[in-house]
Structure 1
């Protein structure tokens, strides 16, 4: 097994080496006062999160709300910082060597609630990667994160998420094809650095214009999310893939 870090930051750096994937990656930097001010000035909204966290833990959204004030959302709680000095003090407290700041993607929403996507990509030894399951996680009311346990959100099929969203007038088959293509590109890009990995749970998203984004890649994804879908076939496919791999 490789000693290479599996942190969000390390995987992001590997992914962004690919010119084909760069357009699907939110701009990301280590958190500092300078990097925060640069990205918030450029995009108006940013996400701050620990590079080693999972399940939405520690994810904070900051939005520039005009007149030098900033709105900070942590879970369902929102605070306003009145000026740049106040937000700078907040950022300095958050900045350390395990926190990143990144461009916030304007996620597509289903009935006003943001959703992102879990795409399972798996392979057998010496075989090509394949997409074995996809689902959408819809955030609970008032939350920016889609983690089901923390936000009280729900799991639906990707097709159902698209219906009732800003994307409902786009061709669903084309959106799904692009999603699969980018997921497989990401797996191919990471694979040489993590040769021991045979399963990836890639957290992805559509923005409000239908562009595909890679949020992060998990090497130990929670498979039970797929049991929340009405049709359990994807879950059984993923599990049987594991069983076949263990026998090889």
Structure 2
């Protein structure tokens, strides 16, 4: 029996279903932001408790239709990523009618605690960890990188916020974070993949992780392949060293059964050098 939030046509577990699935698992090696279905009472409660709350469509991708609510100096600030528009309301009574009119009940959204995360150069960032299955059907830790939001961005999705991709080690060094944290990410990845294996045969997973001031890791998002696509390979092409990008593409090609002669043509140029552009 498939879990709540499973969309069979897309072969996709939406954000609400993913939250429920992971919340039910034992021995979580990371924090999960408190998440509720968007309703007036749930949103008001979360905003009162955390002062910063993200609004996300349950089936969205690429950062589309995400907005941020903040309780600042007894006023409500509402920022929409796609337009960059920031509206300020003196109280809830003036805020809610305008907000709810742009979030019809026919569209399902979640309200999610904005985790108390560290920033990089005063911009939001997360660490994207990419997992793939190999030809033996085992999960492989394919690589990681950092996505940093563009100036004024509220999310780290590179395309929608005008952000950038940076090597993980550079950001860790700048923030004074120990570089031996990758075992923690692997533990989180193993835990997530075991959970996902109870739902469906996913081929690729992209985890978005954040770190707080106490060095605790938060799992912000889980991205899986579905009928519409999957976690981006192209993010890794934006790194100074594209070796991981080449490895990810090659592993994918072998997994989906692209003939060897075609692999030789497609990957010959990238494999013949040092993996950098």
What's the TM-score once normalised by structure 1's chain length?
0.90
Please say which of residues 203-212 and 75-84 is displaced more in the overlay.
203-212
Task: Identify the match of residue 203 of structure 1 among 174, 199, 208.
Answer: 208
Give the root-mean-square deviation of aligned CA atoms: 2.0
Question: 1:31 — aligned with what?
Answer: 38
Aligned equivalent of 1:245, options 255, 259, 276: 255
- Return 5+ residue gaps in structure 1 as ranges: none
**Alignment equivalent of 1:128, drawn from 120, 126, 138:** 138
> Of residues 43, 46, 71 in structure 2, which corresponds to 1:64?
71
1:90-105 counterparts in 2 under 5 A?
A: 90-93=98-101, 94=103, 96=105, 97-105=107-115
CA–CA distance in 2 between the matches of 1:88 and 1:33? 8
Unpaired runs of 5+ residues, structure 2, are 3-7, 225-229, 259-277
Q: Whole-Å Cα distance in 1 between the matches of residues 43 and 233 of structure 2?
A: 34
Q: Deviations over 1:77-108 (max 9, x none)?
A: 32111102122223433252511100001332
Q: Which has the larger radius of gyration?
A: 2
Is 1:16 aligned to residue 16 of structure 2? Answer: no
Could you say which residue in structure 2 is the equivalent of 1:84?
Answer: 92
Greater RCO (CA < 8 Å, at least 6 residues apart): 1
Corresponding pairs, count: 241
2:192 to 174, 186, 196: 186
Structure 1 residues 87-236: aligned runs within 5 Å: 87-93=95-101, 94=103, 96=105, 97-124=107-134, 127-165=137-175, 168=176, 170-173=177-180, 175-195=181-201, 197-219=202-224, 220-236=230-246
Shift of 1:20: 2.1
Give the TM-score of the pair, scaled to structure 2. 0.81
